[in-house]
Every structure is written in C-alpha cells, then in structure tokens.
Structure 1
Amino acid sequence: MLKKELNLDSELKVGPSGSFIVEVDGKPVVKKESFGFPTDQQIVEAVAKTVGGPSAPASS
C-alpha cells in the first residue's frame, strides 16, 4: 500500500501479540487503537504527513 500510494518501501517487523505500530525512521506515526486497527487510508495519510508527501492517497 505504501509503495503504490507514496512510492515508499516498507518493512514488516513482528512484534508482541496484538500490537500494530507504523514507524517512520523509528518514530511511531500511527498505531492500533483500543478497539481496532487503523484503516489503510489512515496509515497512508500518517506516513505521508511525516515524510512530507501528499496528504491523501491517490485514487485507484
């Protein structure tokens, strides 16, 4: 999803059970809330804001 929307490579790292954190340069930018995971759009927007890219994903 990040490659398609922002042309960024990503890496999946296994963490403790139940955790979900998206980091950019070691800094958390979005994480799982108490009752659910962030949407794809929320992840792309949070990463884009951090790296200075477009604030909304491109249309499919």
Structure 2
Amino acid sequence: MVLMGGSGGIFEIRQDSNVIWKKERSGHFPLPGEASALF
C-alpha cells in the first residue's frame, strides 16, 4: 500500500490504477475498518 497526497479535498482509495473508494461518491471519509475491508 502506498499513501499519496492529493489536492483540492480529493480522497480516493486505489488498488493498482482502479479507484475502489471515493469520498465524493460515499459522502464521507472511511469509517474505522472500512478502508482495510476493501483489500
């Protein structure tokens, strides 16, 4: 896993080059355990 900074409030979780979670779609930051459950 690599953490990369973004800009403009963008928060995405990617696996390889695929976006698997996006704050814009969900409307919130990941809840505890939510991000790790994606992997």
| Fold match by TM threshold 0.5 | yes
* Larger Rg computed on CA atoms: 1
Q: Which has the higher strand share?
A: 2
Query: Which of structure 1's runs of 4+ aligned residues deviate more than 6 A?
Result: none
Name the count of aligned residue pairs: 37
Give percent identity, aligned residues only: 24
Give me the whole-angstrom Cα distance separating, in 1, the residues matched to 2:32 and 2:2.
16
Q: CA RMSD in A?
A: 1.4
Which letter maps to 2:16? Answer: D
Give me the whole-angstrom Cα distance separating, in 1, the residues matched to 2:18 and 2:32.
19
Q: Which has the higher helix share?
A: 1
Which letter maps to 2:8? Answer: S
Gaps of 5+ in 2: none
